[in-house]
Structure 1
Amino acid sequence: MITKSTWDGYLHFLIHWLLLCRISFSVSISGAFLGSAGAGYMVDRLGFRRTLQVDTVPLILGAVLSAQAHSLDQLLWGRFFVGLGIGANAVLVPIYISEVAPTKYRGSLGSLCQIGTCTGIIASLFLGIYSENDPHWWRAMLYIASVPGFILALGMQFAVESPRWLCKAGKLHDAREVISNLWGPSEVERSIEEFQSVLNNDGGDLDSRWSELLEEPHSRVAFIGGTLFVLQQFAGINAVLYFSSLTFKDAGITNGALASLYVGITNFAGALCALYLIDTQGRQKLITGSYLGMAMSMFLVVSAISFPINEELRNNLSIFGTILYILTYAIGAGPVTGLIIPELSSSRTRGKIMSFSFSVHWVCNFLVGLFFLELMKNFGVAPVYASFGIVSLLAAFFSLSFLVETKGRSFEEIEMSLDPKAR
């Protein structure tokens, strides 16, 4: 039975664990914040291929430095560099996929970000299950973590540049060639005409200023992007993931890596559903339904904890509610948030709006990690989880009220419809 002493004992352990990890966590999040903040400027200047290659440097350096660490300072520097690379990647990858993808498949291809993340988590957890008996397994895992950086650096050498960035940079011949190869020869002239029309409307400059995010229509998109990430983080996804191991432990699953693997598989299953639904049902419907499902899941867990019911039923409802929450998050709130922000942004400010939005994301991520266990200790599980359900309901209402449907519309169509100067 999940008694008060069980919760208190587990919370006591987690709070001490958090105190040990807080410095490392803060350093990593600080790096991610700086990486996200600087990625928009770099991509405006260098383009996606070169920026993604530059971004592999901190990813590789951080992983190797962490693997070889023999002091806390070395480990913290490694964490900082990895955070720097992750923060930049979080901004660059969704924009790059969106800009090179055909409009018809932009949503499905954009959701591959979530699938890739889930695949990496599952692979690392799977390796962790069979490495726990080796006292130096963590060093081997960190060396392995450097491999994707090398693959990305090499792979981007053979990848195409975004045709929209090429057009902004005045490389029209290269832009035509990329469009012909990716979208077909019949799309070349129409696409170039749309790109140039939008660029002329924006003033034709390659660079944008941060102050433009205070001007319409960019300020509205920046507000939507920042608010979506605030709501996403305070709806509790990372907190629920932190605490899910207790839920599984009470059901008899004592292997922490195995429990995390179940969570990772659930996340992956939701991402696969999003791959199909995002271009058939649309972004707004998917993210709204996702948050409603998350709210229902949280209230289910709260009911299981709060009401005097059979112990086995309580455990089963808690597990079901946790799994349903993660599944519904992965179907909509996870992939759609990172996809719809660049879709709503103008070509001129897309990089900086994404940088701003993900910077907000890392700040909120840090706050949740910093205060979650303290809130659990002071108020208990049920009130905190209930607050996640309430935020999820607010997120559903916000999505329904402020988002416009972008399914099946090119970036240029969306931008022209949102910009009053272009009407």
Structure 2
Amino acid sequence: MQQALAIHSVQCFSTMNFHRKHHYFDHLRRNKQYPFPHSTSFSVSKEVKVSASSKQKPPQVESVIGDDEDELLLEKVIVVDDGGDLGWLPAFPHVLTASMANFLFGYHIGVMNGPIVSIAKELGFEGNSFLEGLVVSIFIGGAFIGSVTCGSLVDKLGCRRTIQFDTVPLILGAIVSAQAQSIEEMILGRFLVGLGIGVNTVLVPIYISEIAPTKYRGSLGTLCQIGTCIGIIASLYLAIPSENDPHWWRTMLYIASVPGFILALGMQFSVESPRWLCKAGRLDEAKKVINNLWGSSEVDKAIKEFESVLKNDGDDLNSSWLELLEEPHSRVATIGGALFVLQQLAGINGVLYFSSLTFKDVGISSSALASLYVGLTNFAGALCALYLMDKQGRQRLLIGSYAGMALSMFLIVYAISFPMDNEISNNLSILGTLLYIFTFAVGAGPVTGLIIQELSSSRTRGKIMAFSFSVHWVFNFLVGLFFLELVQKFGVAPVYGSFGAVSLLATAFAYFLIVETKGRSLEEIEMSLNPKFQGKRNSE
């Protein structure tokens, strides 16, 4: 569960004014030469329609509808708009299908929480803490390799085919693990699963962001986090029979292969990213996808944006890793890596590890029940992120999330450091733990993976995401490796206090170096950040 929450893996906060601050992204404003509209919703805008009604119709168009009838028709359209905006609906089935990969991620994390003792006993390494840790941590090694290789795969094959190919190690890994008769077979199966998960954690956010309408890109992107939460909860629920059946873990791992087959089949009926299709020269297919998902009125404007970016970046499918050393890619990659370093050093893995002990102090001795409380809290935070991502924006949620995480850590430090009644101390610790997990799930979890690919260029998006997630897996491993040693040497309070300090640092980082991408198309963001495009525009 630690990795599941730390990957993605959001409230209403005050608006920050960035126009007076000087930082790299300060010039991220509306492109005046290419003032493309950002909302790709199918809904009718009330403001636009009302203003349009006051304008004269073009002389060559003759209306056979009277003024009164025209106004009545307009009122009916506006009423329909007030009833609900369904511009997200055409893309939703494709996003939901891709999110099955995140369900698998959460399931594979949770599936080892309870049965590891039964697995160790049956395969003959019971009591060997090193081998038990290896079975769990080899997953991270596979995920690291998967993240590194994903950047090149998606450039050549596109998102849809890469996701389908990636189901092979996910399915094989689950089956090999379920049939394992030795520790070596179990390690191989877990490595294959990690390899597939490493690819998906990079690829699925890119796919969703490239097919989602701009207006709903953030909310639909949050389905990655929600899918992970549901996967964790499902694995915890299915693990209940393992308390009475020591061989139940094999059934759980066989079940893990089923979503892989569903994902492979579902992606066969899903669309390819229109941005990748345009880059691959398949313009007619790109127009068809845009028409089906965003509406016919968006086709020409979207294609014009795509071609403007390709004209400056180049339209070949093979970007080089060395391009990450050039501007603006180097700065985006640096910020992406830094966001994941801060996310991990803010202590999500340590808090999750200690959460079971915290719950035991208040009488909840069942680790499964404690994990369920944590999973439900994470799920509630992800739902808040779904609602607020495109309303409050990415930057606000990051700032508020890390501020809430810092407050939670300091609350726990206060509860365990100052003399008070044990019951009050334990309750404050529980409150701080749940508040920390909730605020993480609301911003630091889902926003990090979303905003990195939004700031990345179309040409290097896959490789920047691959680099950033590789950094994530490295620091995920390091924090898990040294956390207990630091607690034993310094105590819980100093370690949690350092987590709070890092969270405050992350709050400042988000305030000064992250700008709002809400409501901006990926192409407009890229053209605003690309110095080549800026120089060309100025020369014109």
Deviation by residue 1:41-84 (Cα, 9 ceiling, x = unmatched): 00100011110001001111111111111101000001100000
- Determine the C-alpha separation between the residues in 2 that align with 1:382 and 1:17: 30
CA contact (8 A) 1:129 1:258 kept: no
2:422 pairs with 1:321: no
Aligned residue for 2:521? 410
CA contact (8 A) 1:283 1:336 kept: yes
In the alignment, which of 114, 117, 133 is matched to residue 22 of structure 1? 133
TM-score, normalized by length of structure 1? 0.95
CA contact (8 A) 2:344 2:475 kept: yes
- Determine the C-alpha separation between the residues in 2 that align with 1:311 and 1:180: 62
Aligned residue for 2:16? none
Aligned residue for 2:48? none
In the alignment, which of 251, 256, 261 is matched to residue 362 of structure 2? 251
**What RMSD in Å do the two structures reach over aligned CA positions?**
1.0
- Determine the C-alpha separation between the residues in 2 that align with 1:262 and 1:45: 42
Shift of 1:20: 4.1
5 Å-filtered alignment, 1:293-332, equals 293-332=404-443
Name the stretch that deviates more: 287-296 or 131-140: 131-140
In the alignment, which of 508, 523, 532 is matched to residue 397 of structure 1? 508
Aligned residue for 1:81? 192
- Determine the C-alpha separation between the residues in 2 that align with 1:309 and 1:147: 51
2:203 pairs with 1:92: yes
Name the stretch that deviates more: 23-32 or 71-80: 23-32
Instruction: Give the secondary structure class of the aligned counterpart of 2:242.
Output: coil
2:299 pairs with 1:188: yes
- Determine the C-alpha separation between the residues in 2 that align with 1:355 and 1:24: 24
Aligned residue for 2:36? none
- Determine the C-alpha separation between the residues in 2 that align with 1:156 and 1:263: 31
Counterpart residue identity of residue 237, structure 1: I
- Determine the C-alpha separation between the residues in 2 that align with 1:292 and 1:203: 41
- Determine the C-alpha separation between the residues in 2 that align with 1:354 and 1:120: 23
- Determine the C-alpha separation between the residues in 2 that align with 1:161 and 1:46: 10
Aligned residue for 1:236? 347
In the alignment, which of 280, 285, 298 is matched to residue 174 of structure 1? 285
Aligned residue for 1:421? 532
Aligned residue for 1:10? none
CA contact (8 A) 1:229 1:358 kept: yes
Name the stretch that deviates more: 16-25 or 292-301: 16-25
- Determine the C-alpha separation between the residues in 1 that align with 2:130 and 2:509: 35
Aligned residue for 1:334? 445
By percentage of residues, which structure has more helix? 1
Aligned residue for 1:45? 156
Counterpart residue identity of residue 173, structure 1: D
Counterpart residue identity of residue 190, structure 2: R
Shift of 1:127: 1.4
Name the stretch that deviates more: 18-27 or 320-329: 18-27
Counterpart residue identity of residue 258, structure 1: L
CA contact (8 A) 1:22 1:370 kept: no
Shift of 1:364: 0.5
Shift of 1:212: 0.5
Name the stretch that deviates more: 120-129 or 161-170: 120-129
Q: Are residues 87 and 277 of structure 1, via their aligned partners in 2, closer, same or farther at CA, if it must alter by over 3 Å?
A: same
CA contact (8 A) 2:220 2:386 kept: yes
Identity of aligned residues (%): 74
5 Å-filtered alignment, 1:17-416, equals 19-416=130-527
- Determine the C-alpha separation between the residues in 2 that align with 1:62 and 1:183: 37
Counterpart residue identity of residue 465, structure 2: M
Shift of 1:203: 2.1
- Determine the C-alpha separation between the residues in 2 that align with 1:184 and 1:348: 25
Shift of 1:19: 3.4
Shift of 1:27: 1.8
Q: Are residues 17 and 330 of structure 1, via their aligned partners in 2, closer, same or farther at CA, if it must alter by over 3 Å?
A: farther
Counting matched residue pairs gives 408
- Determine the C-alpha separation between the residues in 1 that align with 2:505 and 2:132: 31
CA contact (8 A) 1:39 1:92 kept: yes
- Determine the C-alpha separation between the residues in 2 that align with 1:19 and 1:371: 14
Q: Are residues 411 and 395 of structure 1, via their aligned partners in 2, closer, same or farther at CA, if it must alter by over 3 Å?
A: same
CA contact (8 A) 2:405 2:503 kept: yes
- Determine the C-alpha separation between the residues in 1 that align with 2:129 and 2:381: 29
Deviation by residue 1:353-392 (Cα, 9 ceiling, x = unmatched): 0000000000001001111111111111101111110110
- Determine the C-alpha separation between the residues in 2 that align with 1:150 and 1:131: 25
Instruction: Give the secondary structure class of the aligned counterpart of 2:390.
Output: coil
Counterpart residue identity of residue 30, structure 1: G
Gaps of 5+ in 1: 1-15
Counterpart residue identity of residue 347, structure 2: G
Q: Are residues 17 and 416 of structure 1, via their aligned partners in 2, closer, same or farther at CA, if it must alter by over 3 Å?
A: farther
Aligned residue for 2:61? none
- Determine the C-alpha separation between the residues in 2 that align with 1:133 and 1:375: 36
CA contact (8 A) 2:241 2:248 kept: no
- Determine the C-alpha separation between the residues in 2 that align with 1:107 and 1:187: 19
CA contact (8 A) 2:280 2:315 kept: no
